Amino acid sequence: MHRRRFLATALAAPRSIFAAREPDIAFVTEPRARLGVASYPFRAFIESGHNRERDKTKPGMDLKDFPAMVRDKYKVRNIEPLDTHFRSLETAYLHGLREAIEKAGCHVINIPVAVRASLYDPDEAKRKVGFDTAKKWVDAAVTLGSPSIRVHIQGVRGVKPDVARTAESLRAIAGYGAEKNIVVNLENDDPQTEDAFFLVKVLDAVNSPYLRGLPDFCNSMLTGNEKYNYDCVAAMFKRAYNISHVKDSEVDNGKVFRVDVGKTFAIANQAGYRGYFSMEWEGEGGPYEGTQQLIDASLKYLSA
């Protein structure tokens, strides 16, 4: 796509796709079957040339080994692999990864990705870089059998988040996702560029069944405002479809922020949410025991 055609395509072509199709995802109801485990909490262990948070003092683990670990340790069959934990996007690598996932009896339920450009950059050519990167991950999701990706919205120095430009970019990305039956999710993650109510404006502007919210239980609590956090979570669950991130706490600059997990599950239930709950531990202690605690809490509230 020539960069001068990018805006026209974003505004026009995908709309017919949105009108014609809805995501085709079969939801499960058994509590444990709705759980997943994200690779992000295990970033210190994952071996990949793209993983800058690998801690060489800890034992290494290839992403291909992650599904079997999750199955054996947690009795969970769903994984959420982070983009930087992939060794490459080459076809042979992706097919080998899918083979390892299927051999473990597991499934990919979402892939969190960064698109290496701001989707609201005033420079259209730079926004197109984000679009092109997102397309590659949509294709990877197809290969791995993942129903969705999560697109991170990064900032631009000196530029405030812009709803209109972000919506233009995501309309094009979601349109490509619609062609492949891959949902594109937005997460209340970065407080500057992914504030929940900014995302709500973008989601409502695009108004596509292939662009949805990914509610994170605790990210918005980093403001220190408890009411604001639950308002954010409620707004996101109203626009969520297939994936959310479970946390009971986060540590930021040495300070621990906690949320009421039961209250957050109640918010999800009130919104009629039927999708997966992916364990994305970020609290005190270590990821192995922390993930188990989140699984235990999730099963408690989903079984209530």
pLDDT in tens, 127-181: 999 999 999 999 999 999 999 999 999 999 999 999 999 999 999 999 999 999 9
pLDDT tens profile 192-215: 999 999 999 999 999 999 999 999
247: burial class by Cβ within 10 Å (0-12, 13-18, 19+)? buried
What pLDDT does residue 46 have? 99
* CATH superfamily for domain 3-302: Divalent-metal-dependent TIM barrel enzymes (3.20.20.150)
Q: How confident is the model at residue 186 (pLDDT cuts 50, 70, 90)?
A: very high
pLDDT value at 300 more than 80: yes
CB 112 within 8 A of CB 82: yes
**For residues 219 and 150, what is the distance between their CA atoms, to the nearest angstrom?**
15
**For residues 27 and 275, what is the distance between their CA atoms, to the nearest angstrom?**
6
Which of these, 167, 199, 211, 201, lies nearest to 22 by C-alpha position?
211
What pLDDT does residue 240 have? 99
pLDDT tens profile 75-124: 999 999 999 999 999 999 999 999 999 999 999 999 999 999 999 999 99
What is the pTM for the complete model shown? 0.94
CA atoms within 13 A on the CB side of 133: 20
